[in-house]
Amino acid sequence: MLRAGEWTKGARVTQAERLARTEVLRTVISRLEETLNELRAEQVKALEGCEHQYPDGRQASTGASTKVCAICGQVLKGREGKLWG
């Protein structure tokens, strides 16, 4: 079976090799997706108690009418109603 670097060099590949390579790639992708999901869950846990400010005390909110935390991405509650008009 061809390695990753050899796969792109234009070598002649049989259908059996192609199918075997596809199956190997599917298992690798599946394993990486599981790892990615675990990392995303860990990130969510780390950002649960976000105070929406940077370590130096500045507010981490951005946006005009809808404020969003630049650190965790959570939509922040703003003032209800309009100030004028």
Output the six-digit token pair for 58: 């500045």
Q: pTM here?
A: 0.58
What 3-state DSSP class applies to 75?
Answer: strand
pLDDT value for 16: 93
pLDDT value for 4: 57
Q: Give the integer Cα–Cα distance in Å for 31 and 49.
A: 30
53 phi and psi angles, rounded to 5 deg: -150, 155
pLDDT tens per residue across all 85 residues of the chain: 456 555 556 678 899 999 999 999 999 999 999 999 999 999 999 989 899 999 999 999 998 888 899 999 889 886 665 556 5
pLDDT value for 57: 92
pLDDT value for 5: 55
